[in-house]
Structure 1
Amino acid sequence: MTRIRDRKMVETFHQLYDVKRIRLDDVLSRMSLNMFFLDTNYIYKRIFYVNENLSYYESLKEGRTKTAVDDGQLTLGF
């Protein structure tokens, strides 16, 4: 569940900060108080200090990955 939550945090951060061009402190505050209910410092650290999340964020910035990823679906390959 942490991995799915982190992906949603990265996507939300990218949408607010890079697409809508909202200030960093405002983005973190919105995400903290209205969406994820986590400390702003924790959100920042999860996005920028976890290599997997940082790589995903960089790919979003470069446009290599769709922002509407549904990790809630389970696919089984047999």
Structure 2
Amino acid sequence: FVYVAFVIDVYARSIVGCRVATSMRTALVLDALEQALWARKHRQGLIHHSDRGSQYLSIRYTERMADEGINASVGTTGDSYDNALA
């Protein structure tokens, strides 16, 4: 298996962060987030939407978003619309 994590800038309509790994761990999504933060210089008012995956709800990930002032929006369990944009 190969896992892919990517961050989409909906306003710019582009992928701004992407990582591939053979295991689904917090480091995978953190690396994608770091790449997205590097690509996006203006970060005020950002909202990060994700499903309820444990990597996206991890302490390290949520603390990093809080450090950048990013608001989290987490979908409901089993909601098919969580990844509709992707």
Report the TM-score, using the length of structure 2 for normalisation: 0.29
Q: Which has the higher strand share?
A: 2
Greater share of residues in helix: 1
Structure 1 length normalisation: TM-score? Answer: 0.31
Which protein has greater RCO, CA pairs closer than 8 Å, 6+ apart?
Answer: 1
